[in-house]
């Protein structure tokens, strides 16, 4: 945000390069007029609609401005366009019309399945179809926005009847989302070969979950009020162009697993995954009161996904569903096969049956009021600049009194 108005910016080290001011000062005049105009919008949507090719042009133009020699006048202008990150007010980067959450981590699906269905952790369709559900775009909130503990119906196994009240099993979900750049027309699908062309970039997502509400309501139609109260998103979006050096093949399917159906089969040798390191940190109220640093709960990698984002988009549109520019497609909880790579407390605490101790001696099964969850993601390889996704934060606030409007 600049002078009370929202400006698009590019993160460069400890600074933000102001695209709005760059366009206004003529530094982007070599670009197409539609692309220049998109740089002055308060959201990324117009830039997304320009297509990935145009976005790559913009990225190259900014890199040239920052690295090539310029005259003294331009240097003074550039200095004014570099806004310190510290103190900058960040806002939602995208106007999201639709939000879809997938279930693309087989390790997470298996871990959760064992908790609820020990004899059949994975349902028969999992290895054939990317599982997803339509979420609420209206309750997407910016990183740093407090999350009020939600109310809902719950029914413990020992109870005869359900009761209504604040959730006692509030959880986070470590996720990565992609934003749709250019969409597709209603009735037309996106092929697996062209799916990447429709992805603008990625961002961190925390799809907060009330596990006790979810457990009572999810059959037979799946997630509802246990999910729709809040989903935190990062203010930073990293373009697919910037992630190109960190693309890797999707992990090979275990021996005996079925091959994807033809419409979900990526071209041979395609680098369909991203080598993105992910971390979850927790800061309790007691830690902050005693000036203790957050503790790391888990770490993982996006490359462990069973279904790629390209496969998610191809499947999402296979029935003719039209995706719109700015739509958010999330991965679902990301967990790895190793201990310490679980992406939710549901897995870490084994559905609350195995509480664990934090470094300061506090005990947790699920989140308590005052707990702050911090998601981080980054790509790094020797000889390449580190690419960070910033942070996605959320602190748990006490439940709001249940009233009707």
Pull the structure tokens for residue 112: 């959760």
Q: Give yes or no for a contact between 376 and 278, defined as CB atoms under 8 angstroms apart.
A: yes
333 is in an annotated binding site: yes
Q: Is 5 annotated as contributing to ligand binding?
A: no
Beta strand pairing call for 209-210 and 170-171: antiparallel
Q: Which of 108, 281, 315, 316 is catalytic?
A: 108
- Binding site annotation covers 284? no
| Closest to 316 measured CA to CA, from 135, 149, 189 | 189
402 is catalytic: no
Q: Is 214 annotated as a binding residue?
A: yes
Whether 217 has a binding-site annotation, put simply, is no
Residue 101 counted as an annotated binding residue: yes
- Alpha-carbon distance of 379 to 278, in angstroms, equals 9
Ligand-binding annotation for 133, yes or no, is: no
Q: Which residues contact 68 (CB under 8 A, 6 or more apart)?
A: none
By C-alpha distance, which of 234, 128, 129, 229 is closest to 176? 234
The candidate with the shortest Cα–Cα distance to 103, out of 247, 234, 218, is 218
Residue 119 annotated as binding site = no
Contact residues for 216 (Cβ-Cβ < 8 A; gap 6+): 153, 154, 155, 162
The answer to whether the annotation marks 92 as part of a ligand binding site is no
Any known ligand binding at 173?
A: yes
Buried b / exposed e over 107-123, threshold 16 CB at 10 Å, is bbbbbbbbbeeeeebee
H or E stretch covering 251 = none
15-18 sheet: strands from edge to edge:
9-12, 15-18, 82-84
207 a known binding residue?
A: yes
Residues identified as active-site: 108
For the annotated binding site for substrate, the residues are: 103, 117, 214, 218, 333
For the annotated binding site, the residues are: 101, 103, 117, 173, 175, 207, 214, 218, 227, 231, 333
For the annotated binding site for Ca(2+), the residues are: 101, 173, 175, 207
For the annotated binding site for Mg(2+), the residues are: 207, 227, 231
């Amino acid at each position: 945000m600049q002078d009370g108005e929202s400006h698009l910016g590019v993160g460069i080290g400890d600074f933000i390069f102001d695209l709005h001011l760059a366009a206004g000062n003529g530094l982007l005049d070599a670009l197409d007029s539609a692309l220049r105009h998109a740089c002055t919008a308060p959201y990324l949507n117009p830039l997304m609609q320009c297509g990935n090719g145009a976005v790559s042009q913009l990225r190259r133009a900014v890199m040239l401005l920052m690295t090539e020699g310029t005259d003294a006048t331009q240097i003074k202008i550039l200095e004014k366009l570099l806004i310190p990150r510290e103190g900058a007010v960040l806002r939602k980067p995208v106007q999201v019309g639709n939000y879809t959450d997938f279930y693309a981590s087989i390790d997470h699906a298996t871990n959760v399945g064992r908790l609820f269905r020990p004899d059949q952790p994975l349902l028969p369709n999992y290895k054939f179809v990317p599982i997803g559900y339509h979420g609420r775009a209206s309750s997407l909130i910016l990183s740093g926005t407090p999350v009020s503990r939600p109310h809902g119906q719950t029914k413990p196994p020992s109870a005869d009847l359900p009761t209504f009240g604040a959730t006692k099993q509030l959880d986070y979900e470590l996720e990565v989302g992609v934003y749709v750049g250019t969409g597709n027309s209603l009735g037309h699908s996106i092929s697996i070969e062209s799916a990447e062309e429709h992805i603008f970039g990625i961002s961190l997502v925390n799809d907060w979950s009330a596990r006790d509400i979810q457990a009572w309501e999810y059959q037979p139609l799946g997630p509802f009020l246990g999910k729709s109260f809040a989903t935190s998103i990062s203010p930073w979006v990293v373009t697919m162009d910037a992630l190109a050096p960190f693309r890797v093949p999707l992990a090979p399917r275990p021996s005996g697993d079925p091959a994807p159906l033809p419409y979900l089969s990526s071209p041979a040798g395609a680098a369909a995954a991203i080598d993105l390191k992910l971390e979850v940190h927790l800061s309790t109220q007691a830690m902050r009161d005693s000036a203790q640093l957050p503790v790391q709960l888990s770490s993982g990698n996006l490359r462990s996904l069973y279904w790629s984002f390209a496969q998610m988009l191809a499947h999402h549109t296979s029935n003719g569903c039209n995706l719109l520019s700015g739509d958010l497609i999330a991965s679902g909880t990301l967990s790895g096969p190793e201990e310490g790579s679980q992406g939710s407390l549901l897995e870490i605490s084994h559905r609350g049956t195995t509480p664990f101790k934090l470094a300061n001696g506090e005990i947790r099964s699920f989140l308590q009021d005052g707990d702050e969850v911090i998601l981080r993601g980054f790509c790094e390889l020797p000889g390449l600049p580190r690419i960070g996704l910033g942070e996605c934060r959320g602190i748990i606030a006490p439940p709001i009194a249940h009233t009707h409007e």
